[in-house]
Amino acid sequence: MKKVDLRSDTVTRPSAGMREAMAKADVGDDVFRDDPTVNQLQERMAELFGREAALFVPSGTMGNQVSLAAHTRPGDEVIAESGAHIFQWEAGAPAVLSGLSVYAVQGTRGVITADQVATRIRPDDENYTRTRVVAIENTHNYSGGCIFPLEDIRSLRKLTLDRGIMLHLDGARLWNAHVATGVSFAEYGKLVDSASLCFSKGMGCPVGSVVVGDREFIERARRARKRFGGGMRQAGILAAACLYALDHNLKLLAGDHSNALLLARALKDVRGVAVDLDTVQTNIVYFDVKDTGKTADQVVERLEAQGVRLIALGPTRLRLVTHIDVDKPSCEYAADVLSRVLAG
């Protein structure tokens, strides 16, 4: 029986080539800023995004949180889409770590517009919290890996510049947006004040994210990283995996997108399953089984018995995520199992 793990693109394991690169990494002490492999990764990411500097952090959540901390003071407010990772999936970190409130705005497929944001910016009045950051997510996990359109980012950039507000990009899966659209990282980089990119999702690394921005911002983020417990020592072992991924894994993401569409189309053919193919823009598929008479937990259990793993995100809503550790034959097997379990 095949084993196909579609719970997340975080379940990938380092390839033999990545492990070799990690084993051979030249290392130092990154808190002292003398780990040469970390420095190389940071320099390469800053150059890739056309920014002055970058900072290696342990996780995507920490990347977002050091960015928010560097942009704000306690009591400030962040505007974000209601399904955003920083609002829904980071354990209240803006409030706990930085004393921030989050103004959640209902978007469309994870996208909030400049017009929406403009009406949520607080007046300059001592009775209100200060709107300091607008945070966007690209691709948007909770909306099924949808891409934040470039024109909408440009409109938000104009608004935030006009109003003196920071624009942060949670780009945990920006790799996927880049591959799907062809928009360069430098183009994204010039439109935001900061961005966080995760290497432990589609890029197949075991640990690590990178924050990019101007030099002064990165220095503030470095202090926040230390405060939050993210200072690492011989982290070059981990940074080497990220450098390997840039050279070898980025080009594989188009295959993940094709496999996600393969699975979504198979689900669309099953009576009683609701899946919106228009949202399957990258490597994530959400679907609902309410009209099959089954619960999400029942589907998960029956699929696992046949070697296919995914997760329930509601009473009848499920998510699957393709990644570089599942090839097309594995996805074809998963599609067959999904069709039989959901139709049976």
Whether the predicted pLDDT of 245 surpasses 90: yes
Domain of residue 282, residue span: 252-343
Q: Is the peptide bond before 279 cis (omega within 30 degrees of 0)?
A: no
Looking at the chain, the whole-number percentage of residues with pLDDT higher than 90 is 99
CATH of the domain at 129: 3.40.640.10
b/e map of 247-269 (b: 16 or more CB within 10 Å)? ebbbeebebbbebbbbbbebbee
- Domain match, 29 and 177 both: yes
Q: Give me the residues paired with residue 81 across strands.
A: 105
- Domain match, 190 and 321 both: no
What pLDDT score does 1 carry? 78
Last residue of a domain, one of 248, 283, 302: 248
- Domain match, 224 and 305 both: no
Residue 191 is assigned to a structural domain of this protein: yes
Last residue of a domain, one of 212, 233, 248: 248
Residue 9 is assigned to a structural domain of this protein: no
8 A C-beta contact, residue 7 and residue 201: no
Predicted TM-score (pTM) above 0.85: yes
CATH of the domain at 279: 3.90.1150.10
Q: How far apart are CA 323 and CA 310, in angstroms?
A: 13
Q: Which of 81, 64, 164 is nearest to 117 (CA)?
A: 81
Whether the predicted pLDDT of 125 surpasses 90: yes
Count helices and strands (H / E) in the chain.
Answer: 14, 12
| Structural domains counted in the chain | 2
What pLDDT score does 337 carry? 97
What pLDDT score does 161 carry? 98
- Domain match, 126 and 274 both: no
Neighbours of 332 (CB within 10 A): 16
Give pLDDT tens digits for 164-213. 999 999 999 999 999 999 999 999 999 999 999 999 999 999 999 999 99
Give pLDDT tens digits for 55-108. 999 999 999 999 999 999 999 999 999 999 999 999 999 999 999 999 999 999
Residue 193 is assigned to a structural domain of this protein: yes
Last residue of a domain, one of 225, 248, 271: 248
Residue 241 is assigned to a structural domain of this protein: yes
Place of tokens 């942060």: 168
- CA angle 234/66/192 to nearest 5° reads 115
Residue 54 is assigned to a structural domain of this protein: yes
- Domain match, 184 and 50 both: yes
- Domain match, 28 and 151 both: yes
Complete DSSP assignment for 267-289: HHTSTT-B--GGG-SSSEEEEE-
Q: How far apart are CA 207 and CA 328, in angstroms?
A: 26
Residue 315 is assigned to a structural domain of this protein: yes
- Domain match, 185 and 333 both: no
> With bands split at pLDDT 50, 70 and 90, how would you rate the model's confidence at 288?
very high
- Domain match, 133 and 214 both: yes
Could you tell me the two tokens for 156?
A: 């938000």
- Domain match, 227 and 260 both: no
What pLDDT score does 265 carry? 98
Helix axes 36-49, 236-248, angle to 10 degrees: 40
- Domain match, 220 and 273 both: no
What's the average model confidence in pLDDT over 303-327? 97
Q: How far apart are CA 55 and CA 209, in angstroms?
A: 8
> With bands split at pLDDT 50, 70 and 90, how would you rate the model's confidence at 344?
confident
- Domain match, 95 and 66 both: yes
| Residue 50 identity | G
Residue 178 is assigned to a structural domain of this protein: yes
Residue 1 is assigned to a structural domain of this protein: no
- Domain match, 196 and 170 both: yes
Helix spans in 250-327 (H)? 253-268, 296-304
Neighbours of 31 (CB within 10 A): 14
Q: How far apart are CA 343 and CA 339, in angstroms?
A: 6
